[in-house]
Structure 1
Amino acid sequence: MKFRPLHDRVLVERVKEDTKTAGGIIIPDTATEKPSEGKVIATGPGTRGDDGKLNALDVKKGDKVLFGKWGGTEVKIDGKDLLIMKESDIMGVIG
């Protein structure tokens, strides 16, 4: 994939949730909400401060993150459904 986010943007791939309940009932895709958990695929270099120095991002490639339900912009790159969002849309890193 030849995509590099700019500034403080992050490219995230949603983590697939189980489509079965603990009791074995299969939940159809139309009845499930989109997961708000994902894996960071790529990050931008960061933002420039008032002093001109580059402030690096807190997240890095491979991090598992939680983000808001409506966070990010959905894009399709190389046939994959991905999200581009600002680092501030990410609520935290898991693990």
Structure 2
Amino acid sequence: MNVVPIGDNLVVKRLNAEETTAGGIVLPDAAREKPQQGRVLSVGDGRMLPNGKRSAPEMKEGDRVVFGNYAGNEVAIDGESLLFLRTSDVLAILR
């Protein structure tokens, strides 16, 4: 299924969480923190400006982004967990 966000929203797939600590201890799923990085799967057409035009989004499909702990809304679509973020929720693009 192709998910197309509206406006200044993004669809992001979280990157996998680390399974071990720096000391080599294996963490169970419940103890792992959700990663704050992900891959952009789809980008909306941009934020509406007061003059009626749209601003071009800074992110593009395939970008690796960093976002806050509680940013966005997590939704399961076709058995896959996707994160819907506003472009303002993205803290950085990793290139």
Q: TM-score, normalised by structure 2?
A: 0.93
Say which structure is richer in strand.
Answer: 1
Aligned equivalents of 2:7, 2:53: Cα separation in 1: 13
Q: Give 3-state SS (helix, strand or coil) of 1:30's partner.
A: helix
Aligned equivalents of 1:12, 1:34: Cα separation in 2: 13
Q: Give 3-state SS (helix, strand or coil) of 2:4's partner.
A: coil
Q: What are structure 2's unaligned runs of at least 5 residues?
A: none
Q: Deviations over 1:18-71 (max 9, x none)?
A: 202244321111111111110101010002211111211101100000000000
Runs (4+) of structure 1 moved beyond 6 Å?
Answer: none
Worse-matched range after superposition: 12-21 or 83-92? 12-21
Q: TM-score, normalised by structure 1?
A: 0.93
Alignment-derived partner of residue 11 in structure 2? 11
Root-mean-square deviation (CA, aligned residues, Å) is 1.1
Alignment-derived partner of residue 77 in structure 2? 77
